[in-house]
Amino acid sequence: MDDVIKLFGVMVAIMIPVAIGGGVFVLIAGRLKALRGRRAAGSSQELEELRARVQELEQHQTQLQELEERVDFFERMLLALREGKALPQPPPRS
């Protein structure tokens, strides 16, 4: 009977840390999963914001190109006026 009690004591001594360790593992795994979910949602939102920003920058680039064409035209027009030549035709509008 003493051997059974000792065996039971050893089993309890082993099982308590295993049970506590398993519980801690489950808690940590749950927290990590929650953090990943938040990070994924934040990353998705951040990605959408970056896409919108890129689209906005592309629109500004198009506007800048149009303004460069206009400045080039006016430079050619002023040069033609100074030299007494015929005025250049304006570029077609897009």
pLDDT tens digits, one per residue of 33-91: 877 766 666 678 888 889 999 999 999 999 999 999 889 888 888 888 888 887 777 76
3-state helix, strand, coil in the chain (%, to 5): 85, 0, 15
Of 69, 76, 74, the closest CA to residue 94 belongs to 69
Rg (CA), the chain: 37
pTM given for the model: 0.44
User: For residues 88 and 80, is the Cβ–Cβ distance under 8 A?
Assistant: yes
14-42 average pLDDT score? 72
Provide the pLDDT for residue 39: 65
Other residues' Cβ atoms within 10 Å of the Cβ of residue 69: 15
Provide the pLDDT for residue 87: 72
Residue 92 in this model has a pLDDT that exceeds 80: no
Of 88, 90, 85, the closest CA to residue 69 belongs to 90
Provide the pLDDT for residue 40: 61
